[in-house]
Chains A and B, each alone.
Chain A
Protein backbone atom coordinates (compact mmCIF):
# COMPACT_ATOMS: atom_id res chain seq x y z
CA UNK A 1 0.00 0.00 0.00
CA UNK A 2 1.42 3.34 -1.05
CA UNK A 3 1.70 5.74 1.81
CA UNK A 4 2.92 8.71 -0.20
CA UNK A 5 1.59 9.19 -3.72
CA UNK A 6 2.52 11.93 -6.13
CA UNK A 7 0.50 12.90 -9.15
CA UNK A 8 0.77 13.21 -11.99
CA UNK A 9 3.81 11.05 -12.76
CA UNK A 10 4.77 13.44 -15.54
CA UNK A 11 3.53 16.86 -16.58
CA UNK A 12 4.39 18.84 -19.66
CA UNK A 13 3.56 22.57 -19.73
CA UNK A 14 4.19 25.50 -21.97
CA UNK A 15 6.27 28.34 -20.59
CA UNK A 16 3.98 30.61 -18.57
CA UNK A 17 1.29 27.93 -18.10
CA UNK A 18 0.62 27.61 -14.37
CA UNK A 19 -0.27 24.28 -12.75
CA UNK A 20 -0.07 22.26 -9.55
CA UNK A 21 1.59 19.05 -8.46
CA UNK A 22 0.02 16.86 -5.81
CA UNK A 23 1.44 14.83 -2.94
CA UNK A 24 -1.07 12.80 -0.92
CA UNK A 25 -0.40 10.61 2.08
CA UNK A 26 -2.51 7.99 3.81
CA UNK A 27 -0.93 7.79 7.25
CA UNK A 28 -2.13 10.07 10.02
CA UNK A 29 0.17 11.75 12.48
CA UNK A 30 2.08 13.94 10.07
CA UNK A 31 5.25 15.35 11.58
CA UNK A 32 6.35 17.30 8.51
CA UNK A 33 6.24 17.34 4.74
CA UNK A 34 9.22 18.18 2.55
CA UNK A 35 9.48 19.20 -1.10
CA UNK A 36 12.66 18.61 -3.05
CA UNK A 37 13.71 19.34 -6.61
CA UNK A 38 15.88 16.84 -8.50
CA UNK A 39 17.64 17.62 -11.78
CA UNK A 40 18.73 14.75 -14.04
CA UNK A 41 21.90 13.09 -12.80
CA UNK A 42 21.93 15.08 -9.56
CA UNK A 43 20.84 14.66 -5.98
CA UNK A 44 17.63 16.16 -4.61
CA UNK A 45 17.76 19.80 -3.54
CA UNK A 46 15.63 21.02 -0.64
CA UNK A 47 12.80 23.44 -1.39
CA UNK A 48 10.30 23.62 1.50
CA UNK A 49 9.20 22.11 4.78
CA UNK A 50 5.56 22.30 5.91
CA UNK A 51 4.49 21.25 9.39
CA UNK A 52 0.77 21.88 9.80
CA UNK A 53 -2.42 22.08 7.76
CA UNK A 54 -2.98 25.54 6.36
CA UNK A 55 0.69 26.37 6.19
CA UNK A 56 2.04 27.88 2.97
CA UNK A 57 5.55 28.67 1.80
CA UNK A 58 6.78 30.44 -1.32
CA UNK A 59 9.99 30.64 -3.27
CA UNK A 60 10.13 32.48 -6.58
CA UNK A 61 7.52 30.83 -8.85
CA UNK A 62 6.80 27.99 -6.42
CA UNK A 63 4.29 27.87 -3.61
CA UNK A 64 3.72 24.86 -1.38
CA UNK A 65 0.52 24.33 0.59
CA UNK A 66 -0.55 21.66 3.05
CA UNK A 67 -3.89 20.16 4.07
CA UNK A 68 -4.56 17.24 6.40
CA UNK A 69 -4.13 14.65 3.67
CA UNK A 70 -2.17 16.26 0.86
CA UNK A 71 0.18 18.96 -0.26
CA UNK A 72 0.26 20.95 -3.45
CA UNK A 73 3.21 22.51 -5.18
CA UNK A 74 1.86 25.35 -7.27
CA UNK A 75 3.99 26.60 -10.12
CA UNK A 76 3.10 30.04 -11.43
CA UNK A 77 4.22 31.18 -14.89
CA UNK A 78 6.93 28.51 -15.08
CA UNK A 79 10.11 28.87 -17.10
CA UNK A 80 12.11 26.13 -18.87
CA UNK A 81 14.62 26.16 -16.01
CA UNK A 82 11.85 24.91 -13.70
CA UNK A 83 11.98 21.59 -15.55
CA UNK A 84 12.96 18.90 -13.05
CA UNK A 85 11.56 16.05 -11.01
CA UNK A 86 9.82 17.25 -7.86
CA UNK A 87 9.84 14.93 -4.87
CA UNK A 88 7.80 15.10 -1.72
CA UNK A 89 8.72 13.33 1.50
CA UNK A 90 6.55 12.81 4.54
CA UNK A 91 7.80 12.43 8.08
CA UNK A 92 5.36 10.14 9.82
CA UNK A 93 5.00 7.76 12.69
CA UNK A 94 4.51 4.16 11.55
CA UNK A 95 4.00 1.47 14.19
CA UNK A 96 5.82 3.57 16.75
CA UNK A 97 8.80 4.29 14.52
CA UNK A 98 9.73 7.61 12.95
CA UNK A 99 9.98 7.38 9.19
CA UNK A 100 10.67 9.67 6.27
CA UNK A 101 8.86 8.30 3.24
CA UNK A 102 9.47 9.68 -0.24
CA UNK A 103 6.98 9.74 -3.09
CA UNK A 104 7.94 8.57 -6.57
CA UNK A 105 8.17 12.11 -7.90
CA UNK A 106 6.56 14.18 -10.64
CA UNK A 107 8.66 14.81 -13.72
CA UNK A 108 7.91 18.36 -14.88
CA UNK A 109 8.86 19.61 -18.34
CA UNK A 110 8.41 23.24 -19.33
CA UNK A 111 8.55 23.87 -23.05
CA UNK A 112 9.71 27.30 -24.29
Chain B
Protein backbone atom coordinates (compact mmCIF):
# COMPACT_ATOMS: atom_id res chain seq x y z
CA UNK B 1 0.00 0.00 0.00
CA UNK B 2 1.25 3.46 -0.87
CA UNK B 3 -0.69 5.05 2.01
CA UNK B 4 -1.24 8.75 1.43
CA UNK B 5 0.43 10.35 -1.57
CA UNK B 6 0.59 14.00 -2.59
CA UNK B 7 1.26 15.65 -5.92
CA UNK B 8 3.32 17.71 -6.59
CA UNK B 9 6.14 17.64 -4.03
CA UNK B 10 7.31 21.19 -4.79
CA UNK B 11 5.83 24.14 -6.62
CA UNK B 12 6.64 27.81 -7.15
CA UNK B 13 3.84 30.15 -8.13
CA UNK B 14 3.59 33.82 -8.91
CA UNK B 15 1.04 35.93 -7.08
CA UNK B 16 -2.36 35.53 -8.68
CA UNK B 17 -1.69 32.17 -10.30
CA UNK B 18 -3.86 29.17 -9.53
CA UNK B 19 -3.05 25.57 -8.84
CA UNK B 20 -4.46 22.32 -7.50
CA UNK B 21 -2.81 19.98 -5.02
CA UNK B 22 -3.81 16.35 -5.28
CA UNK B 23 -4.03 13.93 -2.39
CA UNK B 24 -4.72 10.22 -2.84
CA UNK B 25 -5.12 7.45 -0.27
CA UNK B 26 -5.47 3.71 -0.77
CA UNK B 27 -6.61 2.75 2.74
CA UNK B 28 -10.33 3.17 2.10
CA UNK B 29 -10.51 5.94 4.72
CA UNK B 30 -13.70 7.92 5.02
CA UNK B 31 -12.12 11.10 6.37
CA UNK B 32 -9.54 13.28 4.67
CA UNK B 33 -7.92 16.55 5.73
CA UNK B 34 -5.74 19.33 4.38
CA UNK B 35 -3.32 21.10 6.73
CA UNK B 36 -0.70 23.78 6.36
CA UNK B 37 2.46 23.90 8.43
CA UNK B 38 4.36 27.13 8.96
CA UNK B 39 7.53 27.74 10.99
CA UNK B 40 6.80 28.30 14.68
CA UNK B 41 3.18 27.28 14.31
CA UNK B 42 1.41 24.02 14.70
CA UNK B 43 -0.36 22.25 11.89
CA UNK B 44 -3.52 24.15 11.03
CA UNK B 45 -6.55 22.57 9.43
CA UNK B 46 -7.66 24.18 6.16
CA UNK B 47 -10.57 21.97 5.04
CA UNK B 48 -11.68 18.44 5.67
CA UNK B 49 -14.06 15.86 4.27
CA UNK B 50 -16.09 13.20 6.05
CA UNK B 51 -16.95 11.31 2.91
CA UNK B 52 -17.21 11.34 -0.84
CA UNK B 53 -18.98 14.45 -2.08
CA UNK B 54 -18.78 16.29 1.27
CA UNK B 55 -16.39 19.00 2.46
CA UNK B 56 -16.22 21.36 5.42
CA UNK B 57 -14.16 24.35 6.54
CA UNK B 58 -11.39 24.04 9.07
CA UNK B 59 -9.49 26.67 10.99
CA UNK B 60 -7.93 28.60 8.07
CA UNK B 61 -10.11 28.05 4.96
CA UNK B 62 -9.88 31.50 3.32
CA UNK B 63 -8.26 31.48 -0.11
CA UNK B 64 -8.66 27.72 -0.57
CA UNK B 65 -11.26 25.44 -2.06
CA UNK B 66 -11.54 21.67 -1.97
CA UNK B 67 -13.33 18.85 -3.70
CA UNK B 68 -13.87 15.18 -2.90
CA UNK B 69 -15.39 13.65 -6.02
CA UNK B 70 -13.94 10.22 -5.31
CA UNK B 71 -13.45 8.60 -1.92
CA UNK B 72 -9.74 8.12 -2.46
CA UNK B 73 -8.95 11.64 -3.68
CA UNK B 74 -9.05 15.03 -1.99
CA UNK B 75 -8.09 18.11 -4.00
CA UNK B 76 -6.98 21.46 -2.62
CA UNK B 77 -7.26 24.46 -4.91
CA UNK B 78 -5.76 27.91 -4.76
CA UNK B 79 -7.66 30.18 -7.11
CA UNK B 80 -5.43 33.25 -6.80
CA UNK B 81 -2.24 32.51 -4.89
CA UNK B 82 -0.85 35.02 -2.41
CA UNK B 83 2.57 35.15 -0.70
CA UNK B 84 0.82 34.41 2.61
CA UNK B 85 0.01 30.97 1.21
CA UNK B 86 3.67 30.04 1.07
CA UNK B 87 3.77 26.97 3.28
CA UNK B 88 4.11 23.22 3.45
CA UNK B 89 0.79 21.51 2.82
CA UNK B 90 -0.04 18.12 4.27
CA UNK B 91 -2.90 15.85 3.44
CA UNK B 92 -4.08 13.26 5.95
CA UNK B 93 -6.71 10.57 6.15
CA UNK B 94 -8.34 8.54 8.90
CA UNK B 95 -10.96 5.86 9.44
CA UNK B 96 -13.28 8.20 11.26
CA UNK B 97 -13.48 11.43 13.17
CA UNK B 98 -15.94 10.55 15.86
CA UNK B 99 -17.71 13.70 16.86
CA UNK B 100 -19.54 12.60 19.97
CA UNK B 101 -18.03 11.29 23.16
CA UNK B 102 -14.87 9.70 21.90
CA UNK B 103 -11.97 11.05 19.95
CA UNK B 104 -10.40 11.43 16.57
CA UNK B 105 -8.82 8.30 15.21
CA UNK B 106 -5.17 8.47 14.29
CA UNK B 107 -4.47 10.32 11.10
CA UNK B 108 -2.13 9.10 8.37
CA UNK B 109 -0.20 11.90 6.70
CA UNK B 110 1.23 12.30 3.23
CA UNK B 111 4.79 13.51 2.56
CA UNK B 112 3.78 17.12 2.00
CA UNK B 113 3.89 19.71 -0.78
CA UNK B 114 6.23 22.67 -0.39
CA UNK B 115 4.61 25.69 -2.04
CA UNK B 116 6.30 29.04 -2.58
CA UNK B 117 4.32 32.02 -3.81
CA UNK B 118 6.42 34.89 -5.12
Given known A100-B45, A104-B42, contact A41–B106 (CB-CB < 8 A): no
Q: Is the CB of A103 within 8 A of B4?
A: no
Smallest beta-carbon distance A103→chain B, Å: 5
Q: Is the CB of B90 within 8 A of A44?
A: yes
Smallest beta-carbon distance A18→chain B, Å: 26
SS of A interface (majority)? strand
Q: Does A98 contact B (CB under 8 A)?
A: yes
Q: Does B108 contact A (CB under 8 A)?
A: yes
SS of B interface (majority)? loop
* Stretch from B12-20, B71-79, B109-117 forming part of the interface with A: B109-117
Q: Does B2 contact A (CB under 8 A)?
A: no
Q: Is the CB of B106 within 8 A of A46?
A: yes
Q: Is the CB of B104 within 8 A of A105?
A: no
Using a Cβ–Cβ cut-off of 8 Å, how many residues does chain A contribute to the interface with B? 24
Interchain CA distance A105-B44 in the complex, whole Å: 13
Q: Is the CB of B42 within 8 A of A87?
A: yes
Using a Cβ–Cβ cut-off of 8 Å, how many residues does chain B contribute to the interface with A? 22
Q: Chain A 33-49 against B: per-residue CB contact (8 Å), 1 yes, 0 no?
A: 01010000111111001
Q: Is the CB of B109 within 8 A of A32?
A: no
Interchain CA distance A49-B94 in the complex, whole Å: 14
Q: Considering only CB atoms, which chain A residue lies closest to B106 in the complex?
A: A46
- Out of A32, A42, A98, A105, which one reaches B42, CB within 8 Å? A105
- Out of A44, A45, A98, which one reaches B43, CB within 8 Å? A44
Q: Does B102 contact A (CB under 8 A)?
A: yes
- Out of A31, A45, A105, which one reaches B109, CB within 8 Å? A45
Interchain CA distance A34-B103 in the complex, whole Å: 10
**List of 6 A-B pairs having minimum Cβ-Cβ separation, nearest first:** A32-B103, A43-B109, A102-B42, A102-B43, A46-B106, A31-B103
Taking A43-B4, A104-B42 as known contacts, 15 extra A-B pairs with beta carbons closer than 8 A to each other, sorted by chain A number, are A31-B103, A34-B104, A34-B106, A36-B109, A41-B111, A42-B111, A43-B111, A46-B108, A49-B103, A51-B102, A51-B103, A89-B43, A100-B104, A102-B42, A104-B41
Name A residues whose Cβ lies closer than 8 Å to a Cβ of B: 4, 31-32, 34, 36, 41-46, 49, 51, 87, 89, 91, 98-105
